[in-house]
C-alpha cells in the first residue's frame, strides 16, 4: 500500500461529513507533506477500489450519516485488511472508544485534538520515524 519511498508514504484518506472539518484536515495533512484525498461519507470512500489505490492511512469521523466510522472500519477490515484507520469523534464516549479499539483502529482521537497529535498518529500508522511512543487522546 505504501508506494512512495522517496517522500511521505502513500495517500491519506480523510472521511468527514462536515466540509469545514474535511478542509481543515486536508490542509493539516498536506502541510506535513502527504498527499490527501477527502470524502464526505463512508459510502463515497467505499466506492473507491482501495486495494488498487495508494491509500496508506484513513482518518474518519465516527458520526458520518448513514454508515458510521465504526461500520466503515468493520468493512475495511475485510476489504482492505491491514489498512491503518484513525477514528475521531466530538463525543466523550468510552463505549465508542472500546469498540474502535476492538475493531483495530490505530487510535481514537476526541475532538478537538491537537494537530500535532494527529500527525504523530499518522506517522505511527505509516511506520515512519518520529512517531509518538504515547499520545494522550
27: CATH:
3.40.50.2300
Question: Taking 80 as the threshold, does the pLDDT of residue 9 lie above it?
Answer: no
Q: Which domain holds residue 74?
A: 11-126
- The pLDDT, as a whole number, for residue 4 is 34
Cα-based distances in Å from 79 to 15, 104, 133? 17, 14, 29
Burial class (CB in 10 A: 0-12, 13-18, 19+), 2: middle
> pTM here?
0.85
Would 81 be classed as within a structural domain? yes
Q: Is position 133 within any domain?
A: no
Total count of domains within the chain = 1
Smallest CA-to-CA distance from 61 within 93, 108, 123, 124 is with: 108
In a domain, 2, yes or no: no
Q: What is the pLDDT of residues 31-74, one digit of tens each?
A: 999 999 999 999 999 987 665 567 899 999 999 989 999 999 99
Share of the chain above pLDDT 70, in %: 83
Amino acid at each position: 500500500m505504501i508506494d512512495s519511498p522517496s517522500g511521505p508514504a502513500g495517500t491519506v484518506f480523510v472521511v468527514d461529513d462536515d466540509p469545514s472539518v474535511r478542509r481543515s484536515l486536508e490542509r493539516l495533512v498536506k502541510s506535513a507533506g502527504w498527499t490527501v484525498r477527502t470524502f464526505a461519507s463512508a459510502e463515497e470512500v467505499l466506492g473507491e477500489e482501495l486495494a488498487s489505490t495508494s491509500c496508506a492511512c484513513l482518518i474518519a469521523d465516527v458520526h458520518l450519516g448513514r454508515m458510521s466510522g465504526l461500520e466503515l472500519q468493520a468493512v475495511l477490515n475485510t476489504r482492505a485488511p491491514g489498512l491503518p484507520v484513525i477514528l475521531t469523534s466530538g463525543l466523550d464516549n468510552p463505549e465508542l472508544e472500546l469498540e474502535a479499539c476492538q475493531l483495530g483502529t490505530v487510535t481514537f482521537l476526541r475532538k478537538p485534538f491537537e494537530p500535532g497529535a494527529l500527525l504523530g498518529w499518522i506517522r505511527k500508522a505509516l511506520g515512519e520515524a518520529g512517531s509518538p511512543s504515547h499520545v494522550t487522546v
